[in-house]
Amino acid sequence: MSRIEATFQHLKAKGRKALIPYVTAGFPFADVTPELMHAMVAAGADVIELGVPFSDPSADGPVIQKAGDKALAFGIGTTHVIDMVKAFRQTDTTTPVVLMGYANPIERYDLKHGKDGFIRDASAAGIDGVLVVDYPPEECVEFAAKLRAHNMDLIFLLAPTSTDQRMQQVADVASGYVYYVSLKGVTGSGALNTDEVEAMFPAFAKKSASLWVLALAFAMPKRLKPLPRWPMPW
């Protein structure tokens, strides 16, 4: 059983929703990330999403863009991010870690380290899943299968604008959980429609048994008030 699956089963037994915070690797300082990850777990994180810095993060808003730019200025790349997870795993072998980023750093890593080098090294480091923003599900069936062979999940995004066809394509390939983008626009947008979000749960549940993870900005606590009445995403 994967760490992601074990974590969600444990949460289900306790009647809890998962808290999955995000942090950009190498921000605000190049060497602080493993320490931040441990602090997130101590503060209640159930899963950690670790952002891989990239120069053209097309789906991210200005806050994450600036964090990535600073990490890149420190020289942080995919190899460093994998090493950060290795360091974290020295004292935490239970908390799932999901890398979140873009196709370019993964493909550049493979060019440098050999075919499927990213999958090999990510698995060895103790990474549990990968969310690649610009990998469409219909183009990465083989990549998803290779990840699963190394006990890692390929996680996909869905949005309020996702069609039934897109939801089915994601359902056919996704594992671990599905990351539902609650906002129309880039990360940090304020355009949250809670009724629209709630309506998507049953629509996707008909297509897949995958778990839901709802992406929310915590800058506005009032956005979280509807959560207790929403169904458990499993």
Could you give the 3-state DSSP secondary structure of residue 49? Answer: strand
Residue 188 has pLDDT above 60, yes or no: no
With cut-offs at 50, 70 and 90, classify the pLDDT of residue 61.
confident
Q: Taking residues 93-114, what's their average pLDDT?
A: 97
Q: What is the residue whose two structure tokens read 């699956």? A: 5
Local structure of 165: helix, strand or coil: helix
Q: How far apart are CA 183 and CA 187, in angstroms?
A: 8
Beta-sheet strand order (sheet of 48-51): 22-24, 48-51, 97-101, 129-132, 153-158, 177-181, 211-215
pLDDT in tens, 136-184: 999 999 999 999 999 999 999 887 788 889 888 998 899 998 888 776 6
Give me the pLDDT at residue 212, please: 60
Mean pLDDT of the chain: 86
Instruction: Catalogue all structural domains in the chain, each as residue range(s) with its CATH number.
Output: 3-229 (3.20.20.70)
What pLDDT, on the 0 to 100 scale, is given for residue 178?
Answer: 87
pLDDT digits (tens, 9 = 90+) for 199-215: 676 766 666 656 666 65
Average pLDDT over residues 61-81: 95
pLDDT of residue 167: 86
3 confidence band (pLDDT: 50, 70, 90):
very high
pLDDT band at 233 (very low <50, low <70, confident <90, very high): very low
Its pTM stands at: 0.88
Label residue 192 by pLDDT band (50, 70, 90): low
Question: Residue 12 and residue 45: Cα distance in Å, rounded?
Answer: 15
Residue 101 CB burial class (10 angstroms; 0-12, 13-18, ≥19): buried
Strand partners, 109: none
- pLDDT value of residue 140: 93
Closest among 214, 213, 219, 212 to 193, alpha carbons compared: 214
Catalytic residues: 49, 60
